[in-house]
Structure 1
Amino acid sequence: MSFVSLRGIKKTYGKGENAFVVLKGVDLDIQKGDFIALMGPSGSGKSTLSNILGCLDDADSGVYDFCGVNVCDLSFGEKARLRRNYFGFIFQSFNLLSKTTALENVELPLIYKGLKKKERRELAMIALQKVGLERWANHSSAELSGGQQQRVAIARALAISPVFLIADEPTGNLDTQRSIEIMEILQGLNQNEGITILMVTHESDMASYASREIHFLDGKIQREVKR
């Protein structure tokens, strides 16, 4: 059984003449330990698919099986618990609180899990150590470079020990050297810790770090490249 299995996933935004079909019956299997780069032009459906995989959006129809559970049948609250306990998210814009320290930013998802302060701090520091930022734990986001901010965002995603990491254009706001640093971190998490990763990207050089490339066009999977 696949770690993740999608069958006939469809999604339309708008109604009537304004309707835009984003996903046109997507089938995809993801195995545990995969590192997938989801690629395609703007509007091809890749970000919508990643949002559905992360339970941030709902499919109109189809089956989304996650570890034997049909996510499409879950309630809003059940999907929230699934996100909170199993998924880590990394965004292009970092989404950090600017006046809050790196450590406090990483603690945020642990607060939502209801962990006590001491345990939160310990887990947040471990996550910062994994991305090489423990010395910057007490610096605010505004005091960090773009690359450091993205590493804090990765640490925040790692704090809950996710089994599935979803990254949407994680290097989109970074220069080449910082992008390489981020990709090496992600590749290490995949290869050394076995975290399954799905990354949305426009950049073929960043996609080369993944073990699979899934190319999207007009709401469908056009082709796949395996390494």
Structure 2
Amino acid sequence: MREQKYVIELQNATKSYGEAEAKTFAMQSVNLQVEHGEFLAVMGPSGSGKSTTMNIIGCLDTLSGGEYLFEGVNVGLLSQDQRALLRRNYIGFIFQGFNLLGKTTAVENVELPLLYRGYGVHERREMAMEALRSVGLEHVAHHTPGELSGGQQQRVAIARAIVTNPLILLADEPTGNLDTAKSIEIMELLRSFNKEKGITVLMVTHEMDMAKYASRRVFFRDGSIEKSEAEEQGL
């Protein structure tokens, strides 16, 4: 991979549910191009199509019409197993609710994606500890989520998302459960991975203060892109 200018391209992408008069559109003719190394904030009111778009990009759902290209590959032509491999090998996910296993230590939570990839025990542990070091949490590696603050749990979730060195990070309201100070910590982390590691970041957020960390913002309304704007000032 890495020959294409765009890591993600949506071309007249449409997602509908139901038939005939009952048909509703979650996405309507969405055209979006994301370059390697971009930090994109996806914004819009509830029901605007932004979460559906992220699910399509994350290979968690499929289009009803149009095309989704990942590194120039038409994802719509891939089998379910091939989409699962694409998701596992190239995409990292960060969720608002952290989605950590409650009775499992931080380092074991971070190891999970490596387990699915078939890495050995020692290599998994070494890579997971390095990921925890990158988010400043090696000292709580053997703590369970219940022993960590909300900000620490989200940083563990970020370590889990980046441990496989993904091509893109999809972050769904990553600061939604955090106070302002912890939110800034998380955004600084995401920006550092974007700038220093070149990881492409796509983030859904309702918060303009958080969206300002992105290099570009795309606004959804009624299933379509309403406008797109670049961050001129930076932070």
TM-score, structure 2 as length reference = 0.95
* C-alpha distance in 1 between matches for 2:150 and 2:73: 37
Structure 2 residue 170 is matched with structure 1 residue 166: yes
* C-alpha distance in 2 between matches for 1:11 and 1:185: 33
* C-alpha distance in 1 between matches for 2:221 and 2:162: 31
* C-alpha distance in 2 between matches for 1:18 and 1:76: 27
**Partner residue of 1:28?**
32
SS of the residue aligned with 1:118? helix
Match of 1:101 among 105, 108, 112: 105
**Partner residue of 1:56?**
60
**Partner residue of 1:121?**
125
Counterparts in 2 of 1:5-154, with a 5 A limit?
5-154=9-158
- Measured against aligned partners, the alpha-carbon deviations of 1:112-135 in whole angstroms (never above 9, x if no partner) come to 001111110011011101110000
* C-alpha distance in 1 between matches for 2:12 and 2:227: 17
Root-mean-square deviation (Å): 0.9
Structure 2 residue 187 is matched with structure 1 residue 207: no
* C-alpha distance in 1 between matches for 2:152 and 2:191: 17
The alpha-carbon deviation at position 15 of structure 1 amounts to 3.4
* C-alpha distance in 1 between matches for 2:127 and 2:159: 10
The alpha-carbon deviation at position 12 of structure 1 amounts to 1.1
The alpha-carbon deviation at position 225 of structure 1 amounts to 1.0
* C-alpha distance in 2 between matches for 1:103 and 1:123: 10
Amino acid at match of 1:142: G
**Partner residue of 1:182?**
186
* C-alpha distance in 1 between matches for 2:65 and 2:118: 33
Amino acid at match of 2:74: N
* C-alpha distance in 2 between matches for 1:95 and 1:158: 15
Identity %: 58
SS of the residue aligned with 1:3? strand
- Measured against aligned partners, the alpha-carbon deviations of 1:28-75 in whole angstroms (never above 9, x if no partner) come to 000000000000000000000001001011111111111121111100
* C-alpha distance in 2 between matches for 1:137 and 1:20: 46
* C-alpha distance in 1 between matches for 2:185 and 2:17: 36
The alpha-carbon deviation at position 16 of structure 1 amounts to 4.3
Match of 2:199 among 195, 199, 203: 195
The alpha-carbon deviation at position 5 of structure 1 amounts to 1.1
The alpha-carbon deviation at position 4 of structure 1 amounts to 1.3
**Partner residue of 1:219?**
223
The alpha-carbon deviation at position 17 of structure 1 amounts to 4.3
The alpha-carbon deviation at position 14 of structure 1 amounts to 3.1
Moved more, 152-161 or 1-10: 1-10
TM-score, structure 1 as length reference = 0.98
